[in-house]
Amino acid sequence: MPGRVPGEQRIFSLVLALVVSPEGVTKRDLLSSVYGYAERFRAEGSSTALERQFERDKEQLRALGIQVETMDSPLEPGNNQLTRYRIAKERLEFPAGLRFDERELMMLRLAALAWREGSLSAEARRAAMKLEALGAGLDVRQLGVAPSLGSIEPAAAPLQRAIDADRVVRFAYRLPGREDPLERRVAPLRLHRADGRWHLIGRDLERDADRVFLLERITSAVRVSGESFDPGLHARADAVVDEMLGLREERRAHLRVEPGSTAEARLASRKEPADDGAAPASEDGAVELVVGVLDAHLFSEELMGYGAEVAVAAPEALRALVTDGLRRVARQHGGREAADA
């Protein structure tokens, strides 16, 4: 089976096809000829999966500010099979009056370097070169003099390669409350970043179930096997992400935060909006925030780092995790008397 075409290459090829055809191209012509679709297109048989991919790619282009125009067939208006798609060339032209000042260029350099290592390095280079080609004045040779802002999770690079090639992976995974990690055999579908952490959306092949794995809980090297999995599984990733984010909305933490503190600065951006759009204050001046929680154990560790700047009002399970964690730290550094204080 040929390797999976990286998404950015498929999107780029789609944009080229839509720009060079001012009269528009039908969906069938796109799916049968564009790099990233054509390898999976079959003249006979269902192309439902490819059509769904095409719709997702159009949404991604719209999110990037690139509008895909649709034109009905003059002979059969309303016939979706004859609808033609195109991108007006003038929509992709760099605005003549747009310029970046020195501060903005510095931020662009730092942003590119933030992804210098790991699975996103190629995307960072492409973005920098695109800015330079568009006349932004960004010299990619200067990127090396900016400071390093850290690297991505070490598991990300092999996982992304396995995702692109539709290859099964194996790794050891640590669950909260368990001393020994568990061996997992997974069809990796997507890397997704939420709440500042990277997650692997995948299909656990031993348990025959969709799963979300936190990359920082992978305790071994990721082993990419020669075993392939059905590329159609990638279509499941959207639903898994939606379910994960839906659970975050249901698992809400009620916090009391010291105003003007580091805790408020970091947590306020993640709060659920109040009815009037403002964060209410309690009688003692504390700011009350409601925050969605993806992982209670990790969130409790984050809250512990804020110390007295934040207190958990609810749920009780999260409050217990924070309290037990603080007592454990106190015992380790101040003895039992400090823990019982």
Structure tokens belonging to residue 142:
């200067």
CA 247/CA 292 separation, integer angstroms: 8
Q: Token pair for residue 279?
A: 């964060």
What is the reported pLDDT for 137? 46
| 210 touches 203 (CB < 8 A) | yes
pTM, whole model, 2 decimals?
0.53
| DSSP β-bridge partners for residue 311 | 256
The Cα–Cα gap between 204 and 156 comes to 17
Q: For residue 175, give both structure tokens.
A: 């669950």
Q: Residues 226-255: pLDDT tens digits?
A: 999 999 999 899 899 989 888 888 889 999
Q: Treating both helix axes as pointing N-terminal to C-terminal, what angle do 121-133 and 102-114 enclose, rounded to 10 degrees?
A: 150
**Token code pair at residue 57:** 């790619």
Half-sphere exposure of 38 (CA within 13 A, CB side): 10
pLDDT at 146: 39
Question: Quick one: pLDDT at residue 110?
Answer: 63
Instruction: For the chain, list residues with pLDDT below 50.
Output: 1-3, 115-121, 131-151, 275-278, 337-339, 341
For residue 302, which amino acid is it?
Answer: E
- pLDDT for position 258: 92
CB 241 within 8 A of CB 56: no
With vertex at residue 233, the alpha carbon angle to CA 6 and CA 4, rounded to the nearest 5 degrees, is 25
Angle, alpha carbons 292-297-301 (nearest 5°): 95
**Residue 229: what pLDDT?**
95
In this structure, the strands spanning 167-173 and 182-194 are: antiparallel
Q: Are strands 287-292 and 197-204 parallel, antiparallel or unpaired?
A: unpaired
pLDDT digits (tens, 9 = 90+) for 66-83: 888 888 876 667 677 788
